Amino acid sequence: MVPGRPLDGHLSSTGECFDIGKTVRTALNKFTGSEEFPGSVSPRAAGNGCLMRLGPVPCAFKNCHSLALRYSADSARTTHGPPAATDTCIYFAGLLLGCFEGKSKEELLADKYSPIPDYWSNNTMVPELAEVVGGSYKRKSPPDIKGSGYIIDSLEAVLWAFYHTDNFKDGCLKAVNLGDDADTVGAIFG
Protein backbone atom coordinates (compact mmCIF):
# COMPACT_ATOMS: atom_id res chain seq x y z
CA MET A 1 0.00 0.00 0.00
CA VAL A 2 1.19 3.46 -0.84
CA PRO A 3 0.22 6.17 1.70
CA GLY A 4 -2.74 8.14 0.40
CA ARG A 5 -3.53 5.51 -2.23
CA PRO A 6 -6.64 3.35 -1.80
CA LEU A 7 -6.41 -0.39 -1.28
CA ASP A 8 -6.40 -1.18 -4.98
CA GLY A 9 -4.16 -4.23 -5.09
CA HIS A 10 -0.83 -2.43 -5.48
CA LEU A 11 1.87 -5.14 -5.49
CA SER A 12 -0.77 -7.88 -5.19
CA SER A 13 -0.15 -11.16 -7.02
CA THR A 14 -3.38 -10.61 -8.95
CA GLY A 15 -3.37 -6.82 -9.21
CA GLU A 16 -6.47 -6.69 -7.01
CA CYS A 17 -6.90 -6.45 -3.26
CA PHE A 18 -8.33 -9.74 -1.98
CA ASP A 19 -8.97 -11.60 1.29
CA ILE A 20 -8.20 -8.75 3.64
CA GLY A 21 -9.83 -8.64 7.05
CA LYS A 22 -11.94 -5.69 8.12
CA THR A 23 -9.57 -4.75 10.96
CA VAL A 24 -6.53 -4.72 8.67
CA ARG A 25 -8.40 -2.87 5.93
CA THR A 26 -9.53 -0.19 8.39
CA ALA A 27 -6.00 0.28 9.77
CA LEU A 28 -4.48 0.49 6.29
CA ASN A 29 -7.09 2.99 5.15
CA LYS A 30 -6.34 5.04 8.27
CA PHE A 31 -2.58 4.94 7.71
CA THR A 32 -1.20 8.23 6.45
CA GLY A 33 2.43 7.83 7.33
CA SER A 34 2.18 10.13 10.34
CA GLU A 35 0.32 7.80 12.68
CA GLU A 36 2.66 5.16 14.09
CA PHE A 37 -0.03 2.68 15.18
CA PRO A 38 -3.26 3.10 13.21
CA GLY A 39 -4.79 -0.16 14.49
CA SER A 40 -8.06 0.13 16.35
CA VAL A 41 -7.95 -0.33 20.13
CA SER A 42 -11.54 -1.55 20.20
CA PRO A 43 -11.86 -4.96 21.89
CA ARG A 44 -13.61 -6.08 18.68
CA ALA A 45 -10.31 -5.54 16.83
CA ALA A 46 -8.59 -8.44 18.60
CA GLY A 47 -8.37 -10.61 15.50
CA ASN A 48 -5.70 -13.21 14.85
CA GLY A 49 -4.06 -11.55 11.82
CA CYS A 50 -1.37 -9.89 13.92
CA LEU A 51 -0.47 -13.24 15.49
CA MET A 52 -0.33 -14.94 12.09
CA ARG A 53 2.27 -12.48 10.76
CA LEU A 54 4.32 -12.21 13.98
CA GLY A 55 7.09 -14.77 13.33
CA PRO A 56 9.65 -12.49 11.67
CA VAL A 57 9.75 -10.08 14.63
CA PRO A 58 11.14 -12.47 17.26
CA CYS A 59 13.39 -13.96 14.56
CA ALA A 60 14.89 -10.55 13.83
CA PHE A 61 15.39 -9.70 17.50
CA LYS A 62 16.18 -13.14 18.92
CA ASN A 63 19.37 -11.83 20.52
CA CYS A 64 17.56 -9.14 22.49
CA HIS A 65 14.47 -10.50 24.21
CA SER A 66 13.24 -7.16 25.50
CA LEU A 67 13.25 -5.66 22.00
CA ALA A 68 11.64 -8.79 20.55
CA LEU A 69 8.74 -8.54 22.98
CA ARG A 70 8.38 -4.77 22.59
CA TYR A 71 8.44 -4.88 18.81
CA SER A 72 6.03 -7.82 18.79
CA ALA A 73 3.49 -5.64 20.61
CA ASP A 74 4.24 -2.77 18.22
CA SER A 75 3.75 -5.09 15.25
CA ALA A 76 0.31 -5.99 16.56
CA ARG A 77 -0.59 -2.33 17.10
CA THR A 78 -0.13 -1.49 13.44
CA THR A 79 -3.47 -3.19 12.77
CA HIS A 80 -4.77 -4.69 16.05
CA GLY A 81 -4.41 -2.42 19.08
CA PRO A 82 -6.44 -3.87 21.96
CA PRO A 83 -4.55 -5.35 24.93
CA ALA A 84 -5.81 -8.85 24.09
CA ALA A 85 -3.93 -8.61 20.77
CA THR A 86 -0.75 -7.00 22.06
CA ASP A 87 -0.48 -9.26 25.13
CA THR A 88 -1.04 -12.37 23.01
CA CYS A 89 1.65 -11.32 20.56
CA ILE A 90 4.09 -10.63 23.40
CA TYR A 91 3.36 -14.03 24.95
CA PHE A 92 3.65 -15.89 21.65
CA ALA A 93 6.87 -14.08 20.74
CA GLY A 94 8.25 -15.28 24.07
CA LEU A 95 7.34 -18.85 23.16
CA LEU A 96 9.12 -18.50 19.83
CA LEU A 97 12.21 -17.10 21.55
CA GLY A 98 12.12 -20.07 23.92
CA CYS A 99 11.94 -22.42 20.93
CA PHE A 100 14.97 -20.74 19.37
CA GLU A 101 16.85 -21.43 22.61
CA GLY A 102 15.84 -25.10 22.66
CA LYS A 103 13.51 -24.92 25.66
CA SER A 104 11.55 -28.09 26.30
CA LYS A 105 7.84 -28.37 25.64
CA GLU A 106 7.27 -28.57 29.40
CA GLU A 107 9.19 -25.33 29.98
CA LEU A 108 7.35 -23.53 27.18
CA LEU A 109 3.95 -24.64 28.43
CA ALA A 110 4.62 -23.68 32.04
CA ASP A 111 2.27 -21.03 33.43
CA LYS A 112 3.06 -17.60 31.90
CA TYR A 113 6.33 -18.63 30.25
CA SER A 114 8.61 -15.81 29.16
CA PRO A 115 12.28 -15.80 28.20
CA ILE A 116 12.63 -12.75 30.43
CA PRO A 117 12.48 -13.86 34.08
CA ASP A 118 9.46 -12.44 35.96
CA TYR A 119 8.20 -10.65 32.82
CA TRP A 120 4.55 -11.48 33.51
CA SER A 121 4.97 -10.71 37.22
CA ASN A 122 6.05 -7.20 36.27
CA ASN A 123 3.64 -6.67 33.36
CA THR A 124 -0.10 -7.10 33.18
CA MET A 125 -1.75 -9.76 31.05
CA VAL A 126 -5.42 -9.59 30.11
CA PRO A 127 -7.36 -12.09 32.26
CA GLU A 128 -8.67 -14.09 29.30
CA LEU A 129 -5.12 -14.67 28.05
CA ALA A 130 -3.96 -15.52 31.58
CA GLU A 131 -6.57 -18.28 31.68
CA VAL A 132 -5.25 -19.78 28.44
CA VAL A 133 -1.56 -19.58 29.32
CA GLY A 134 -2.47 -20.94 32.74
CA GLY A 135 -3.41 -24.17 30.97
CA SER A 136 -7.07 -24.01 29.92
CA TYR A 137 -6.11 -25.77 26.67
CA LYS A 138 -4.88 -28.76 28.70
CA ARG A 139 -8.34 -29.36 30.19
CA LYS A 140 -10.52 -28.67 27.14
CA SER A 141 -11.49 -30.58 24.02
CA PRO A 142 -13.40 -29.57 20.90
CA PRO A 143 -15.95 -28.05 20.61
CA ASP A 144 -14.70 -26.01 23.59
CA ILE A 145 -11.45 -25.42 21.67
CA LYS A 146 -12.20 -23.17 18.71
CA GLY A 147 -10.03 -22.11 15.81
CA SER A 148 -11.89 -18.85 15.43
CA GLY A 149 -10.63 -15.51 14.17
CA TYR A 150 -10.42 -14.16 17.73
CA ILE A 151 -6.75 -13.98 18.75
CA ILE A 152 -7.10 -15.68 22.14
CA ASP A 153 -9.18 -18.52 20.69
CA SER A 154 -6.54 -19.00 18.00
CA LEU A 155 -3.74 -19.11 20.55
CA GLU A 156 -5.68 -21.57 22.69
CA ALA A 157 -6.25 -23.80 19.63
CA VAL A 158 -2.55 -23.72 18.73
CA LEU A 159 -1.44 -24.49 22.29
CA TRP A 160 -4.02 -27.29 22.50
CA ALA A 161 -2.72 -28.88 19.31
CA PHE A 162 0.90 -28.48 20.45
CA TYR A 163 0.18 -29.93 23.90
CA HIS A 164 -1.76 -32.94 22.64
CA THR A 165 0.71 -34.08 19.97
CA ASP A 166 4.39 -34.90 19.76
CA ASN A 167 5.28 -33.95 16.18
CA PHE A 168 4.69 -31.16 13.71
CA LYS A 169 2.50 -33.09 11.26
CA ASP A 170 0.04 -34.35 13.87
CA GLY A 171 -0.08 -30.99 15.65
CA CYS A 172 -0.72 -29.03 12.47
CA LEU A 173 -3.46 -31.46 11.40
CA LYS A 174 -5.08 -31.22 14.82
CA ALA A 175 -5.02 -27.41 14.62
CA VAL A 176 -6.47 -27.07 11.12
CA ASN A 177 -9.04 -29.81 11.65
CA LEU A 178 -10.73 -27.62 14.24
CA GLY A 179 -12.17 -25.80 11.22
CA ASP A 180 -13.39 -22.24 11.40
CA ASP A 181 -10.35 -20.03 10.60
CA ALA A 182 -8.27 -23.11 9.81
CA ASP A 183 -5.75 -21.47 7.49
CA THR A 184 -4.76 -18.81 9.98
CA VAL A 185 -4.67 -21.21 12.95
CA GLY A 186 -2.53 -23.56 10.84
CA ALA A 187 -0.18 -20.71 9.96
CA ILE A 188 0.16 -19.74 13.62
CA PHE A 189 0.82 -23.36 14.58
CA GLY A 190 3.52 -23.56 11.88
Task: Quote the CA–CA distance of 63 and 97 in Å, as a whole number.
Answer: 9
In one-letter notation, the amino acid at residue 26 is T
- 181 assigned to a ligand binding site: yes
Nearest to 28 by CA among 47, 8, 48, 13: 8
In one-letter notation, the amino acid at residue 70 is R
- 184 assigned to a ligand binding site: yes
Task: Quote the CA–CA distance of 168 and 47 in Å, as a whole number.
Answer: 24
What residues contact 56, with CB distance under 8 A and at least 6 apart? none
From the annotation, which residues make up the binding site for Mg(2+)?
Answer: 181, 183-184
As annotated, the binding site includes 181, 183-184
